[in-house]
A and B are shown apart, each in its own frame.
Chain A
Amino acid sequence: MGHSELAAIFGVAASSSAQRAFPFLTVLVLLPAGAAFLLLLVPKSVTTAVRSIGIVTTLAVLALSAVVFGEFHSGVGGLQMTSVHPWVAPLGISWSLGVDGISLFLVVMSALLFPIALLGTGERENEKSFTVWLLLLESACLGSFLSTDVLVFFLFFEATLVPAYFIIAGWGHERRGYAATKFFVYTFVASAMLLVGIIALVFIHKSQTGVTTFSVSALANTHLSSMAGMLLLLSFTIAFVVKAPVFPFHTWSPDAYAEAPASGSIVLAGIMAKLGTYGIVRFDLALFPHAVVVIAPLLMVLGVIGIIYGGIVAAAQRDLKRLVAYSSLAHMGFIVLGAFALTSESVSGAVLQMVNHGIYTAALFLLIAMIYKRTGTFQIGPLRGLQHRAPLLAGTFTVVVMASIGVPGLNGFVGEFLILAGTFITHRWYAVVATGGIVIAAIYMLWGYQQVFHSPESEAPPEGAFPEMTWSERAVIAPLIVIIVFLGVWPAPILSRITPTVDNLVNHVVQVGHANVPAPGLPAITTQALQGGSGQ
């Protein structure tokens, strides 16, 4: 049942790439970690060497991800550039990596955001340990997105916590200790559920086939009773919804995003949040299609609540970073809504939106960091009339705000549109309520912008107290702005690589899970009716 779809999802897509001599993905994952260990040998005092190694490594990873993008065959749904090496053979654990339409752009986006997080946030104390942690975090994130072995995925997924914890606790703001511990404990507890689920799934699979394996493609063939499937789905999902976060599991995130240093906020909101939504699309949908169909309405309700509630709470924030944190809650709501609406349009939109959100949220945190560097505050109250002093910074901020509220022509629109249009087909009223979110987004974002940038000149910081963006700041933010515009004007090359994988996945869920949704590629109206109507 559904075996050919599974082959399409997990199978090796291009036979040539399977035999490729150079293991791009393995190098991609291990390069930052290797550089981190190399850094340990460098004396702490040689800051320039430390910085250079960090920058060169993250840029090399970026270049390598560009190569992966170039080598990626568009129009192919399955995993590409796979490398599989038995690791702990008796337990069926293998080092197996692969990239497909769902993970490709998350990898590229991560590779882009790490050098920006490193470069864009200025000098800091104890540069060496910071760089070590950040590089380890990059390896863990890339490993999570690329692993096709559930246990290796879990290890990477968990491994992200440690560097993230130390980055928040070590380089954060006033309440960093509290925020870091809350973040760690909350997400760790949730991840424990994931481990329980993984081990249970593997044992069930073994009892049926006699084979111990952690391979996603093999585990997807496990026959699960509806109760077992439901429990396993919940155990996986709890880890993912906490990580994303999804309402009501979000209360660690405003603290963590606000207290983390700028680089930490960029990685937390831009990349690590996507580990949760990625997990939903990659594992929930593929492994438990029956249970997904049953539980989808619950998660869509949480998504829609997140959109509306996140927006309402964002409107009452008095701290720029917390405002962005709650707006992220709303955006994550859109992604979860799209993922569980289970149409090709909505799931493609959700995957695209993960990338889009990463880009504009990173840009927002970068710009907020520039304001903090000049004023020493994130509070909206004391910040007034900044546009008088730094029009370019204000203009850039405006572009990012417009992207985040989904103005067409910038990158936030297409993902949101696909999510809502796709959701509307199968779950009309969820889409209707969620569309209200675009009004709320305009309210809190424009309010925040007005408070901080628009005011009489007399209330602005004195001349010279708030300098314009420096050239290095411009250089760091420029790539993000270019991508925001590019993905808004021409997302087709991205979507053409995402949709084949998503179509296979949605077909799999629809056929196996007996979901009541139209198959992709077929219009909802009958062909006969069409012919009748085209005569006029």
Chain B
Amino acid sequence: MIHAAFLIPAFPLAGFALLALFGKRLGNPLSGWIATALVALSFVATVIVFIALFQRAPSARIVNEPWFNWFAAGRLRVNVGLLIDPLSMTMAAFVTGVSSLIHLYSIGYMEHDEGYPKFFLYLNLFVFSMLMLVLGGNLIVTFFGWEGVGVCSYFLVAFWFGRPAATSAGKKAMIYNRIGDAGLLLGIFLVFERTGSLQYTTIFSRLGNVSGTDLVAIALLFFLGAAGKSAQLPLFPWLADAMEGPTPVSALIHAATMVTAGVYLMCRISPILHLAPDAAHTVAWIGVATAFVGAMAGCAQTDIKKVLAYSTVSQLGYMFLAVGCGAYVAAIFLMLTHAFYKALLFLGAGSVIHGMGDEQNIKLMGALRKYMPLTALTFGIGWFSIAGVPPFSGFFSKGNVLENAWSVTPALWAVGALTAVVTAYYVGREYFLVFYGSERWAKSDSELVDAGHGGHEGARGLHPHEPGRVMTIPLVVLSVAAFFGGILNLPVHPHLVFLERWLSPVVGATLFNPHDSPGKVWAFSLVEAVLALSGVVAAYFLWRDTVDRPKLEPRFLLHAWYIDAAYDRFIARPSTALATFSATVVDTKVIDGAVRGIAGVVGTIGGRLRKVQTGYVRNYALGIIGGTVVLVAYFLIRAKG
């Protein structure tokens, strides 16, 4: 049954091909249903292969599935093929599962959009690329998926191409990603140079010959790629801008799946990272720093989606903290539960935006729990999960990360724990501003139009309402997953750590630190529960009835520490000036000027000598041939002498 693995990416690829050819004729909503069905089929195929893999002995669960020779030259041989193992199948299962739900949700969310078939076309292409990324049997197939998801992200962020903000955001996402990709490519070259292969299984068997310095270089270059894709310091500013895309895109690509590709990549190369502790430390510190920076930025945002965007930056930071501590299972565990509760939060936000007629400013919402009770409930479940309130899934997954951080150094744990409080707080702030307080959207209607906030036709005369069933079903399913997700890996008993036992053939055992006694684990859990609840309580008292607290929403956090502005000021603008200078001065005046100067001198001399300047090309040609003869003669004399 493992051979059926080709069906997993084949279904969404078929969907892409189908919509590319007949999308317009299939129209709305049929094209959306077809796209959704094909992704659901891909999920079914994944489950079947997953079970087949599960039935094998743990040591036989790493299977290479080569398809065909992609390209070969010199000693470089690249196959297109898959690597089926517990890690890739876990990724495939959650990617296809979450994608199916978000496809379904999009049928409702995008129902009035002109570009409806095109949206699903891109979405299917994205799922195909993401599956090639996680299932790829060598670095180049992974890189194919890696670039593919980046391109799809560009298409989907810039989906509403009539909005300059959206198209600039799409371009920005792609360029930041490309900076990371350049690092990843160099890492791939170094791997190839040192091991002579690009196939994962072969690379890992040859690491014994690679020097420590090279391993650190490889790991850090891969991490540069991961930082671009997963929005880590210093390459994170694109993710907040990417919120210009439709909300299902934010949920699928910029929360649940694509942005976790960097974490996946680092787990995939865990044998390299394992041998490069210096690189791992760097990853852990950058991860925890990003977690803190992102969470703080989330505290001051006013756009419902940007809170969640910085939250994603922050949560991804936690995942890299886990990776850097060697806790790959904890990273994947957090990735899975994050996919559930962050997709849930984004889809909840989409439901609010949909119900509010495209309003995204949380300061202009309030009291929506009365009108959208299901959305409020499910959003609340998402909040408690991300906050780490027991027994929601985030409690277990974030707990794993923090415990592993402690065992590396308590300093990492301390920053992570502080961030955990902030996390519970800033999502709480959003929750209360949206669902509690007064109905600011109702009374401020006329003021808003005056203030220029109006503009969307449907936004006025608001009647907030729950969306239709295609949108609420995914909310409910994801709520259940976000609530119970901890079951995947319960650290209360060695038999219950399913994920750990499943993934250990690939990444090794990492969850239970041998030095941690059961008492210590319970102590950690208690501390983490207190941290989470303190954030929740703080949000309740500060934001339940209050809309503005300028001291808690400083400008530098609203602008995400001015990092983006600094890049613009110190990198983008000087680069633009350099480009203009190169084009107008260096190229036209210096280089071409020299050429024209030489031509002018020759022309003048020629004119004086021959007093004939016809300007005909044939005369120049004649002169050149004459000169050639002289040169030949000179050459011959030199060559013979």
Enumerate chain A interface residues (CB-CB to B < 8 A): 165, 181, 184-186, 188-189, 192-193, 195-197, 199-200, 203-204, 207, 228, 231, 235, 248, 250-252, 309, 312-313, 315-317, 343-345, 348-349, 385, 387-388, 398, 402, 407-409, 413-414, 417-418, 420-422, 424-425, 428, 431-432, 435-436, 438-439, 442-443, 446-447, 450, 453-457, 489-492, 495-496, 498-499, 502-503, 520-525, 529-530, 532-536
**A47, chain B: closest CB distance, angstroms:** 28
Contact of A348 among B73, B164, B181, B206 (CB under 8 A): B73
CB pair A442 B635 closer than 8 Å: no
Most buried by B among A250, A313, A435: A313
Q: With an 8 A cutoff between CB atoms, is B444 at the interface? A: no
Inter-chain contacts of B635 with A (CB < 8 A): 196-197, 199-200, 231, 235
Closest residue of B by beta carbon distance from A503: B74
Q: A185-B599, A348-B73, A495-B73 are in contact. Are A195 and B175 (CB under 8 A)?
A: no
Q: With an 8 A cutoff between CB atoms, is B358 at the interface? A: no
CB pair A450 B584 closer than 8 Å: no
Inter-chain contacts of A435 with B (CB < 8 A): 182, 185-186
CB pair B167 A316 closer than 8 Å: no
Give the contact stretch, choosing among B281-289, B419-427, B626-634: B626-634
CB pair B148 A421 closer than 8 Å: no
Inter-chain contacts of B213 with A (CB < 8 A): none
Q: A192-B628, A442-B175 are in contact. Are A454 and B71 (CB under 8 A)?
A: no
**A249, chain B: closest CB distance, angstroms:** 8
- What's the Cα separation between A398 and B20 when bound, in Å? 14
Closest residue of A by beta carbon distance from B179: A439
Q: A165-B617, A192-B628 are in contact. Are A438 and B181 (CB under 8 A)?
A: yes
Inter-chain contacts of B68 with A (CB < 8 A): 490, 492
CB pair B73 A248 closer than 8 Å: no
Q: With an 8 A cutoff between CB atoms, is B430 at the interface? A: no
Contact of A408 among B75, B143, B638 (CB under 8 A): B143
State which residues 151-171 of B face A: CB under 8 Å: 151, 154-155, 158, 161-164, 167-168, 171
- What's the Cα separation between A312 and B584 when bound, in Å? 12
CB pair A424 B190 closer than 8 Å: yes
- What's the Cα separation between A186 and B636 when bound, in Å? 25
Tell me what chain B mostly uses at the interface: helix, strand, loop, or mixed: helix
Inter-chain contacts of A502 with B (CB < 8 A): 73
CB pair B189 A184 closer than 8 Å: no
CB pair A414 B175 closer than 8 Å: no
Q: With an 8 A cutoff between CB atoms, is B591 at the interface? A: yes
21 residue pairs A–B, Cβ–Cβ below 8 Å: A181-B617, A197-B635, A199-B636, A228-B639, A231-B638, A313-B579, A313-B583, A316-B580, A348-B74, A398-B155, A407-B147, A422-B74, A432-B186, A435-B182, A438-B181, A439-B175, A439-B178, A491-B71, A523-B75, A524-B196, A525-B194
Q: With an 8 A cutoff between CB atoms, is B55 at the interface? A: no
CB pair B207 A533 closer than 8 Å: yes
Closest residue of A by beta carbon distance from B73: A348
**B595, chain A: closest CB distance, angstroms:** 5
Closest residue of A by beta carbon distance from B163: A456
6 closest pairs, A vs B, by CB?
A344-B74, A533-B208, A316-B583, A523-B196, A348-B73, A251-B592
CB pair B171 A446 closer than 8 Å: yes
Inter-chain contacts of A523 with B (CB < 8 A): 75, 196
State which residues 68-106 of B face A: CB under 8 Å: 68-76
**B400, chain A: closest CB distance, angstroms:** 27
**B469, chain A: closest CB distance, angstroms:** 32
CB pair B193 A524 closer than 8 Å: yes
The range of chain B's interface size is 35 or more
CB pair A420 B189 closer than 8 Å: yes
Q: With an 8 A cutoff between CB atoms, is B134 at the interface? A: no
Q: With an 8 A cutoff between CB atoms, is B205 at the interface? A: yes
Inter-chain contacts of A424 with B (CB < 8 A): 186, 189-190, 192-193
CB pair A529 B171 closer than 8 Å: no
**B325, chain A: closest CB distance, angstroms:** 23
Inter-chain contacts of B206 with A (CB < 8 A): 525, 530, 533-534
Q: With an 8 A cutoff between CB atoms, is B140 at the interface? A: yes
CB pair B192 A196 closer than 8 Å: no
- What's the Cα separation between A181 and B614 when bound, in Å? 13
Q: A203-B639, A418-B73, A496-B72 are in contact. Are A456 and B162 (CB under 8 A)?
A: yes
CB pair B194 A192 closer than 8 Å: no
**A27, chain B: closest CB distance, angstroms:** 30
Most buried by A among B144, B192, B617: B617
- What's the Cα separation between A522 and B196 when bound, in Å? 9
Inter-chain contacts of A431 with B (CB < 8 A): 186, 189
Q: A312-B582, A313-B583, A524-B196 are in contact. Are A450 and B171 (CB under 8 A)?
A: yes
Inter-chain contacts of B625 with A (CB < 8 A): 192
- What's the Cα separation between A193 and B636 when bound, in Å? 14
State which residues 185-230 of B face A: CB under 8 Å: 185-186, 188-190, 192-196, 205-209
CB pair B72 A312 closer than 8 Å: no
CB pair A453 B161 closer than 8 Å: yes
CB pair B639 A455 closer than 8 Å: no
Q: With an 8 A cutoff between CB atoms, is B565 at the interface? A: no
- What's the Cα separation between A192 and B621 when bound, in Å? 10
CB pair A192 B624 closer than 8 Å: yes
CB pair B74 A455 closer than 8 Å: no
Contact of B584 among A228, A316, A533 (CB under 8 A): A316
CB pair B168 A450 closer than 8 Å: yes
Apart from the given pairs A189-B624, A345-B73, A443-B175, 5 other A-B contacts in the complex at a CB distance below 8 Å: A315-B579, A345-B75, A435-B182, A492-B71, A521-B75
Inter-chain contacts of B621 with A (CB < 8 A): 188
Inter-chain contacts of A535 with B (CB < 8 A): 208
- What's the Cα separation between A319 and B484 when bound, in Å? 57
Q: A192-B624, A204-B639 are in contact. Are A421 and B189 (CB under 8 A)?
A: yes
Inter-chain contacts of B195 with A (CB < 8 A): 525
State which residues 586-633 of B face A: CB under 8 Å: 586-588, 591-592, 595, 599, 617, 620-621, 624-625, 627-628, 631-632
- What's the Cα separation between A513 and B628 when bound, in Å? 29
Q: A520-B75, A532-B209 are in contact. Are A409 and B144 (CB under 8 A)?
A: yes
Closest residue of A by beta carbon distance from B129: A409
Closest residue of A by beta carbon distance from B598: A189
- What's the Cα separation between A251 and B583 when bound, in Å? 11
CB pair B174 A490 closer than 8 Å: no
- What's the Cα separation between A454 and B244 when bound, in Å? 14
CB pair B587 A436 closer than 8 Å: no
Contact of B205 among A189, A195, A204, A533 (CB under 8 A): A533
Inter-chain contacts of B578 with A (CB < 8 A): 312
- What's the Cα separation between A496 and B147 when bound, in Å? 26
Inter-chain contacts of A348 with B (CB < 8 A): 73-74
**A243, chain B: closest CB distance, angstroms:** 15
CB pair A446 B143 closer than 8 Å: no
Closest residue of B by beta carbon distance from A198: B632
Q: With an 8 A cutoff between CB atoms, is B456 at the interface? A: no
CB pair A251 B628 closer than 8 Å: no
Q: A520-B75, A533-B206 are in contact. Are A192 and B627 (CB under 8 A)?
A: yes
- What's the Cα separation between A349 and B591 when bound, in Å? 29
Contact of A455 among B164, B181, B188, B640 (CB under 8 A): B164
Contact of A343 among B74, B162, B624, B640 (CB under 8 A): B74
- What's the Cα separation between A248 and B592 when bound, in Å? 9
- What's the Cα separation between A181 and B148 when bound, in Å? 44
CB pair A533 B74 closer than 8 Å: no
Contact of B167 among A398, A454, A522, A532 (CB under 8 A): A454
Inter-chain contacts of B171 with A (CB < 8 A): 446-447, 450
Closest residue of B by beta carbon distance from A522: B75
- What's the Cα separation between A349 and B620 when bound, in Å? 38
- What's the Cα separation between A193 and B632 when bound, in Å? 9
**A322, chain B: closest CB distance, angstroms:** 9
Inter-chain contacts of B640 with A (CB < 8 A): 207
**A460, chain B: closest CB distance, angstroms:** 8
**B143, chain A: closest CB distance, angstroms:** 6
CB pair B185 A438 closer than 8 Å: yes
CB pair A492 B151 closer than 8 Å: no
